[in-house]
Amino acid sequence: MKKLWSSLLPKNSRSRPSNRATLALLKLAGRKKGPASDVARLLRLLQSYLEPQQIEEVYRAYEFAAAAHTGQQRLSGEPYIHHPLAVAKILAGMRLDYQSIVAAILHDVIEDTPTAKQQLVEAFGEEVAELVDGVSKLTQVEFESKAEAQAENFRKMMLAMVRDIRVILIKLADRLHNMRTLGALRPDKRRRIARETLEIYAPIANRLGMNSMRVELQDHGFSAMYPNRYRILSHAMRKVRGNRKEIVQKIESTITERIRQEGVEGEVMGREKHLYSIYQKMQQKRLPFREVFDVYAFRVVVDTADTCYRMLGILHSLYKPVPGRFKDYIAIPKANGYQSLHTVLFSPYGVPIEIQIRTADMHKVAEAGVASHWLYKTGSDSSIPQHHAREWLRELLELQQNAGNSIEFLEHVKVDLFPDEVYVFSPKGEILVLARGATAVDYAYAVHTDVGNGCVAAKIDYRLMPLNTRLLNGQTVEIITAPGALPNPAWLDYVVTGKARSTIRAYLKGIHYDEAVALGKRLLDKSLVHYSLSCSKLPAARLTQLLEELNLATLDDLLAKIGLGKRMAPIVARSLAEKLAGGEDLAPIPSSVPLAIRGTEGMVVTYAKCCHPIPGDSILGFISAGRGIVIHTDNCNNLNEFRNDPDKWINVQWEEGVEGVFPVELRMDVANQRGVLATVAAAISALDANIESVDMEERDGRHSALLFTITVRDRRHLAAIIRRIRGIENVMRIVRKQS
């Protein structure tokens, strides 16, 4: 191919080929097979919208990549260069700029060849090199697991996408061609790549409004992930398609005729739901194929948004609309910029008709999404997906800043990639789009991080409602904040948006760290006492030496690991003492002083749910990696399995004047009399105890067992409650429930 190009230039000429040379190359290379034919078809496609010098830059990238990939083959047996050329051709179909096409051709040279990023900078400039680096995996870093490697590579790619959205377009085109050629891989690898495509890349394409790419990615992913289900559904669709054709044509003709009578111009198209969406509907709604496929779908494309609404009225006068099935995505676009009117009608054939009404510009945007910025240069609608994409990228950056690690970041992004939306209003009438199932807390964080952190209550449609209330379409939501209010760990049980979840977690991690440092200092001081030392008396040089050995940056990091149970305080204390003694083996001075539990240690001291220890109980502490100290009563049956691990036990006791309230379980046998539950609950409440949960089981027709979980201050408080309940007439027996 290089000789072919050279033959088109005058002898002794070192200048770049002219446009005439490019045309000659296209003519000659088009006759050949292999990479020459591939690049010729690509260049011919680029001719329709790029400048000659830009096309020649693309060809230069091809020469560079072909040389870098020399000798490499795909598993299918074809030369490796065929893949980057195919990726470039997909992007050329979207009419992306020449830098994107160049980067697509070079996208594997950093990852799969000895080529360095700096070489690309020198040859093609900083912009192209950054695009290539954005889609390249981290091959020089070793990870503890495949999941961590995948997550870290995903995070790298997404952050590159935040800087330049073309990174994800190149990656999606790369994934699309890989899915088209998946047959050469082992079945297990096919399934792994298919799952990743269905869980991550197809949803990203959807989030960017690229419907055509999403549909193809899902179709290939479905066939590779579930080949038998795909085959059965395909066969079923082919079988019924013939029977449907006549009805589809009749409905299409009826709609077209009514439109003509009304003097409105519009194009009516029958459309078929793609296989994966049918499969998803069958799964989610537990419907047989017949019920899902018995829905006729049509699209009506008109000239203006005003005509869309007029067309809606025409169709509603032709066939009766199904109540509650109309959606206006023109007034309120989807999160990815999609706009259309959706309605469902009763047909005369006994089956529903789904209809989408949109303008030609809306149709282009619906199919190409964010790529419509390059594909269609006219019309204001093409900027809508760009605006929504920028909003999403801003949210991604915020998720990344709050995520503790790459796996957590991937989890948050996955949550945001499935936004079956709900639309709510602010008190000023502004529309916010949230994921289906979002709560008032999710709304608060969508407004602003500070609003979320400080929210204490919510008004939904001007009525006070709990913060965990699920929001519905059209509701007006107002968040009430208070100075000094802080995020509640319980919110994690019901928030659904990635932003809310990551922000709450980030806040709790900060608290967790501070609490772990404080507990770690107490534990280390307790162990250092055995050597007549304390944290404040440790020489800086010896401490620095130990931190370097443990690969830790600061003393606080070491104390946090001790507090979380990831390092044992006695071992750290012994190591420090021996360093001070010049390496001499030391025996600790025995000490029987237990660690005092104050009740204010936060999340690094937890209370076992099996025995529910409360102040006044005799207790033991078990050091659990990642959780800190878990407190059990000393007679807890679950301690038996830990008895053989004495190094993880710590002697603890309750401090005088312990703060807080602690859960405890009470079981009582009562007579089945009206009002007994209310009487017991009133007695508990009268003694300033809170009821967290109540379970009831009927033992026979006359008696029931009640299981209360209540919060108490200590054993004295509990004893007072038990005495009060024993005095109730219909309570026959009451005991504290422990393992």
Long-range contacts of 506-509 (CB under 8 A, 24+ apart): 506/401, 506/402, 506/403, 506/404, 507/453, 508/603, 509/404
From first CA to last CA, the distance across the chain in angstroms is: 79
For residue 685, CA distances in Å to 468, 522, 663 come to 24, 37, 14
Instruction: Go through 416-455 and write b for each residue having 16 or more CB atoms within 10 A of its CB, e for each that does not.
Output: bbebebbbbeeeeeeebbbbeebbbbbbbbbeebeebbbb
Cα separation, 386 vs 393, whole angstroms: 10
- Sheet of 477-481: strand order equals 463-465, 455-460, 477-481
Catalytic site residue from 63, 111, 262, 411: 111
Cα separation, 671 vs 655, whole angstroms: 40
Catalytic site residue from 63, 78, 112, 578: 112
**Cβ atoms 534, 569 nearer than 8 A:** no
Cβ–Cβ contacts within 10 Å for residue 613, how many? Answer: 25
> At 452, is the secondary structure helix, strand, or coil?
helix
Cα separation, 475 vs 423, whole angstroms: 8
**CA angle, 195 as apex, 189 and 198 as ends, to 5°?**
140
> At 524, is the secondary structure helix, strand, or coil?
helix
439 Ramachandran zone, left/alpha/beta (phi>0; psi -120 to 50)? beta
> At 72, is the secondary structure helix, strand, or coil?
coil
Cα separation, 28 vs 31, whole angstroms: 6
Residue 448 backbone dihedrals phi, psi, to 5 degrees: -170, 150
CA proximity to 170, closest of 138, 201, 206: 201
CA proximity to 62, closest of 114, 116, 8, 123: 123
Cα separation, 652 vs 659, whole angstroms: 16
SS (H, E, C) 459-480: EECCEEECCCCECCCCCEEEEE
Cα separation, 420 vs 436, whole angstroms: 5
Cα separation, 316 vs 167, whole angstroms: 44
Structure-token pair, residue 375:
């594909």
Cα separation, 256 vs 242, whole angstroms: 22
For residue 581, CA distances in Å to 140, 544, 574, 578 come to 42, 16, 10, 5
> At 387, is the secondary structure helix, strand, or coil?
helix
**Cβ atoms 151, 407 nearer than 8 A:** yes
Active site residue 111: yes
In one-letter notation, the amino acid at residue 496 is V
Active site residue 112: yes
Cα separation, 324 vs 309, whole angstroms: 17
**Cβ atoms 40, 55 nearer than 8 A:** no
- If you write DSSP's letter for every residue of 388-436 in order, what string do you get? HHHHHHHHHHHHHHH-SSHHHHHHHHHHHT---EEEEE-TTS-EEEEET
**Cβ atoms 373, 386 nearer than 8 A:** yes
Structure-token pair, residue 483:
């100075």
**Cβ atoms 614, 718 nearer than 8 A:** yes
Positions annotated as catalytic residues are 111-112
